[in-house]
Structure 1
Amino acid sequence: MFNLFKSNPTKKLRKQLAKLQADAMFASRNGDIRKSSEISAEADKIWQEIQRIEGETKS
């Protein structure tokens, strides 16, 4: 019952992930493959963190 007011711990990370994925796409479209891969690597780290947090909350 009290979980109703508890904030989602991954909400902020998912927002960051979506922004990074969009930035990587735009960098790729502009021909900057190096920047695109750097941004994608950062997005992958955030995705792994989301998966870790969600795994802890389900256990």
Structure 2
Amino acid sequence: MFGWLKPDPLKKLSKQYNAKLEEAMHAQRNGDMRLFADLTAESEEIWQKITTLKQQQGLSE
């Protein structure tokens, strides 16, 4: 009945993923390649969580 009150984990993860990619882009533009690599790796971990959650919910990519 109150399903619309529950936070959507996919939406939250998508926001985190986009934020990490943006941080990585800024790090790359500033020439900090180590930070860029770290942030890109973190974003890939978040992407794996997103795909796993989508598979559990039966959603297609």
| Range into which the TM-score falls when normalised by the shorter chain | 0.7 to 0.9
CA RMSD of aligned residues (A): 1.8
Identity %: 36
Number of residues paired by the alignment? Answer: 58
- Per mean C-alpha deviation after superposition, the further-off stretch among 4-13 and 26-35 is 4-13
Aligned pairs for 1:1-59 within 5 A: 5=4, 6-58=6-58
**TM-score when normalising by structure 1:** 0.86
Gap regions ≥5 residues in structure 2? none
Runs of 4+ in 1 over 3 A off after TM superposition: none
**TM-score when normalising by structure 2:** 0.84
Secondary structure, aligned partner of 2:9: coil
Gap regions ≥5 residues in structure 1? none
